[in-house]
Amino acid sequence: MKEPIRVLHVLGGLSLGGAESRIMDLYRCMDREKVQFDFLVHQKAAGERIPEFYDGEVEELGGKVYFLPKFKGYNYFSYRKAVREFFAQYHNFRLVQGHMTSTAAIYLPEAGKAGIPIKAAHARSAGVDKGMKGIVTRLLRIPLLGMADYCFACSREAGKSVFGNKWENSPKALVLPNAIDAQRFIYKREVRDRIRKETGIEDCFVLGHVGRFHYAKNHEFLLDIFAAVRNGLKEKGKKAALMLLGEGPGMDTAKKKAALLGIEEDVFFMGNRREVWNYYQAMDYFVFPSRFEGLPGTVVEAQAAGLKCIISDKITPEVGFTELVAYKDIALPAEDWAKQIMNDCLYERKNMCQAVESAGFDVREQARRMESFYLSGKIG
């Protein structure tokens, strides 16, 4: 039997993040007798890597996980040396797809020198961190449009943010929406009742959010919104709860703010959950006040689950493909967000699977499209 071609995905890690989850959705649907995925991830220190959320599944699907030291700026030369040594040893890949665009201008050329035929950069975000880190990231991305064979993006905004305004007119540009397995998210009342009972929120109006605790996600404002909703419902003799799925460096700060606001007993930090689709069922309203995004797959998932969503006006309009989504200015007070949520909280949950797939967010169709690309090296 002919061996499958191998595609190397370069990421920061294999935790339960947005990019990682979307790639794994694609991986599960790929014909792995033809195309196999491997992963090159980054770790904080030298030595044996601590396994992350998706490590085990990658191995089960036939993939391999390699790692490099984390890029910190001051270690530019040692990082480049590590990249060069990696590709000198491992270069039997058909394509390298770099989702970590902050250092793609370092590792993609080294991949080319090692003889890997196709190099693709993949923009996943339409913004950068604040401060010097963000400035350095933007500088490192400048050469990408010229050096990559293909420049993919999850949305037009992400493409322009990472590759520049000329990206849209380039023949190497392609928008690849963050597709999901919509069937998994179809609303099921029995699942809703089970999760709510397990969590102790059966009689609550539940706001939900799924996302890494990171500056971009704006959790501090999310907590302000929930506090305003909670107080408004309390005046009417009703209870509210906030369900937060995800982990990350900002979690402790969020917990401290919840305590400061006096709402900690009603905020549920659920951590990472493997069957995340079940938790959307337990929610009543999805709140997503990000400072910036590429194209948040979680908002696609929320719509697939039939949830009404109120999201930041900084998020690409491509994700608001159903009437369930309302955009709101994050410069407005939290009370304005809360008022809209409470005025719009009565609705019937429906099966939105067809709407998700019709809007181009079907992972099976995208898997067929990407499989053809990986095998041919050409955008169809």
Residue 25: the pLDDT is 92
C-alpha dihedral over 103, 109, 113, 119, to 10 degrees? 100
pLDDT per residue over 65-77, tens digit each?
Answer: 999 999 988 899 9
Q: Hey, what are 192's tokens?
A: 């809703």
Q: In what order do the strands lie in the sheet with 325-328?
A: 267-271, 239-245, 204-210, 285-288, 309-312, 325-328
Q: Give the HSE-up count for residue 278: Cα atoms under 13 Å, Cβ half-sphere.
A: 14
**Residue 56 neighbours by CB distance under 10 Å:** 12
Say if residue 1's pLDDT is above 90.
no
User: Mean pLDDT over residues 76-91, rounded?
Assistant: 95
Residue 48: the pLDDT is 67
Instruction: For 167-235, give the DSSP string.
Output: GGG-TTEEE----B-GGGG---HHHHHHHHHHHT-TTEEEEEEE--SSGGG-HHHHHHHHHHHHHHHHT
CA gap 24, 21 in Å, rounded:
5
Say if residue 80's pLDDT is above 70.
yes
Least reliable range by pLDDT among 57-61, 137-141, 153-157, 219-223 = 137-141
Residue 129: the pLDDT is 76
**Mean pLDDT of the chain, nearest integer:** 93
pLDDT per residue over 105-144, tens digit each?
Answer: 999 999 999 999 999 999 988 776 777 777 877 887 888 8
User: Mean pLDDT over residues 89-96, rounded?
Assistant: 96
Q: Do 121 and 148 form a contact (C-beta atoms < 8 A)?
A: yes
Q: Do 276 and 245 form a contact (C-beta atoms < 8 A)?
A: yes
Residue 380: the pLDDT is 65
Residue 87: the pLDDT is 97
Q: Binning pLDDT at 50, 70 and 90, where does residue 274 land? A: confident
Residue 207 β-bridge partners? 242, 285
Q: Is residue 369 within a helix (H) or strand (E), and if so which, with residue range?
A: helix 363-376
Residue 51: the pLDDT is 84
Residue 43: the pLDDT is 83
Angstrom CA distances, 89 to 14, 43, 66, 85, 86, stand at 22, 19, 11, 6, 5
By percentage, how much of the chain surpasses pLDDT 90? Answer: 77
Residue 139: the pLDDT is 85
Residue 216: the pLDDT is 93
**Residue 47 region by backbone torsions, left for phi larger than 0, else alpha for psi between -120 and 50, else beta:** left
CA gap 190, 199 in Å, rounded:
14
